[in-house]
Amino acid sequence: MPPGLLLALVLLGTLPAAEPPIRSTQRIALPAGETTLDAVREAFAKAGRPIAFPSDWDGKRKLTLAPTAPETAIAALDRVARAVGGRIVLEDRGNVLKLAAAAGPMNASTDGDFRTAVQEIAARLNPDTGQRTLEVTLVCHWEPSFCVVRIDGEATLTEVILDVGKTAHTAAKTKAATRDSQYLMTLRFPNVPREAKTISLKGRYAVTAAQAMQTITFDATKPMPQTLPGPLDADVSATLLPLRELPDRREAIVELTYPPSTIEFESFESALRFTRNRLTLVGSDGKPIRPLDDDLRESPNKTTLVYRFAPSKADKDRASLKAVVVTPTRFHEFPVHFDLPGVPLP
pLDDT, position 301: 55
Residues 297 and 313: their CA atoms lie apart, in Å, by: 28
Confidence of residue 126 (pLDDT cuts 50, 70, 90): confident
> Is the pLDDT at 11 greater than 90, yes or no?
no
DSSP output for 82-147 = HHHTEEEEEETTTTEEEEEE-SS---EEEETTEEEEEEEEEEEE-TTT--EEEEEEEEEEE-TTSE
- pLDDT of 252 > 50? The answer is yes
The predicted-structure confidence for 170-221, as pLDDT tens digits, reads as follows 777 888 988 889 999 999 998 888 888 999 999 999 999 999 999 999 999 9
Given a cut of 50, is residue 278 above it in pLDDT?
A: yes
Asked whether the beta carbons of 345 and 167 are under 8 A apart, the reply is no
More confident: 115 or 106? 115
pLDDT digits (tens, 9 = 90+) for 150-167: 999 999 999 999 988 666
More confident residue, 124 or 242: 242
Given this model, what pLDDT does residue 150 score? 93
What pLDDT is attached to residue 298? 67
Question: Quick one: pLDDT at residue 171?
Answer: 72
- Predicted TM-score (pTM) of this structure: 0.84
pLDDT digits (tens, 9 = 90+) for 55-111: 889 999 999 999 999 999 999 999 999 999 899 988 887 788 888 888 777 899 999
The C-alpha atoms of residue 305 and residue 278 are separated, in whole angstroms, by: 9
Residue 258 has pLDDT above 60, yes or no: yes
Higher pLDDT, 44 or 94: 44
Domains of the chain: 7-210+332-344 (no CATH), 213-328 (2.60.40)
